[in-house]
Structure 1
Amino acid sequence: MTAAITRRDYSGVADLAPLLRFTQYNWTPDSRWHLGDIAWEFSFAPGGGPHERMAFWERNGEIVGFGWLTLPATLALMVDPRLADGLVDEVVDWATGLAGQPVAVGVLETEAALIAPLVRAGRTASLPDHFFLNLQRELSDLPPVPELPAGFTVRPLADDELPARAALHRTVWNPRLTDEVYAGLASRWPYRREFDRVAVAPNGELAAYILGWYDDVNRVGEFEPVGTLPEYRRLGLSRALGISLLHAWRDAGGRRALVYARGDDGYPVPRQVYAALGFRVHGRIVRYRLP
């Protein structure tokens, strides 16, 4: 007799590692979620944010599904594809009940097992105004790391540079990334210091960075995130960092790399940079909605 599938709420930071393991177990080149996405998204609030509701579906103590509702009504999900018929509907029904309205379900357009139940339920796909592309490349035939302007170097982050690294990210992207948040991220699997790479200016300032997440089971790495201080842009630093990280993953046994970039015309530069690094479009994140 097949064991029943039961649901439980995400309980906090203690559930993050099991969620990452499920993401790793579930990953294929056609999956939306890589463990780097989860590690980075949960870095700010490992226990979950105030506008998020999350739950696991388990069988025999093993996770077989995950639902992540962002209020008011946007759902992300991961489901063991062998159980997609039935379980996808269950996750969507759970989210709809919490939201009190039909939810928009975000998937990568290559996730056929998840999409089939959504279509059977009458949902259709659409692109939001700001949508993301999944870009991938193999780790064979890598170009050499390009030469940098005089005095610049590219290297892994040093042990004592976490505060400076957090400050660099705050300046480029997000003031919420405090020193404490970054220290917490760096203390948890799957963060690895050798894949957290920086470009250093001649004066010793950290000028640019790329954070790499490596899945050593599936042998695939992800860029998330990437940034350069405004005064150091257009010097080739992001390209050098990216190629350096691709080499590091290949040396670790990696076979594939991926990155997400905006697909709309509102922010085209990262997409162009990754194309120059040999990444090609694998799919788009779309949202399935009821008419």
Structure 2
Amino acid sequence: MSSSNRTIFTNPSTFILQGIPGLEAAHIWVSIPFCAIYVITILANFTILYIVKTEPSLHEPMYYFLCMLAITDLVLSTSTLPTMLSNFWFNDREIGFSACLTQLYFVHCFSAIESGIFVAMALDRYVAICNPLRHSTILTNPVVAKIGLAVLLSGGVLALPYPFLARQWPYCRTNIIPYTHCEHIDVVKLACADIRISSYYGLSVLLCINGLYVILIAVSYTQILRAIFRLPTKDARLKTFGTCVSHLCAILAFYIPTYFSSLSQRFGHNLPLSFHVLLANVYLLVPPMLNPIIYGVRTKQIRDRLF
């Protein structure tokens, strides 16, 4: 490790993933909940996909978006967790330079796609509650497909600069990444160059694009709440609001750790490094596990079909 710190890397062939600094002796124990999370994520999301596919009554826009979310969660988890478990179980810490850039691209791409899917689901709830008679004519299958394609392309385009920016910097400090996986800001911090472009781009995507998504979701739910409060009875209001609870829980489970992790990496310099690493893992691993559970518990059609 000490020799790696002194070696000059203009374009390193490999990076070394340190795992969770300070908790190396406990990696085996840490891997147990991580592995359990991954198994639950795989089983729960495939269950959602199977139920929606086999139940004709669920062939509606909301459940199509839910399937998109399940696929995104599967890709997001699989792009990082096998690398972590290989590190924890077999002490396999090396990752190729190109593989590292590919991993960070997938992490940022599918995180952006997940944000876009939440906006699409908020749009579906808005139309279903505020214009229920026109829901089937507004959100037709071709429209849903176009929305899904737009979300996929926007995530792919937004994440494309990350690996290109990371590739252009010279790396002469170290090839050791003090994390369990590759993320853009963690990689470019190792460069011996002015990385403000990379940092500013990442921050602008976080605040502007994700901020725009949050605003769109907030506007949708403002209109939804106004429509709910205009309903004549309390039971009708509670029943209508109940259709939105699972979506709101999934949004909070995704955005709170995402923003907290991204901002703490840039501004939380006094926090322990192990805290940053664990928080980065929480925002990548926990929402993909929680999303199908939240929708499975809160959505009667899915719950009944599962039983």
The structure with the largest helix share of the pair is 2
Query: What range describes the TM-score normalised by the shorter chain of this pair?
Result: under 0.3
With structure 1 as the length reference, what TM-score do the two structures score?
Answer: 0.27
What's the TM-score, normalizing by structure 2?
0.26
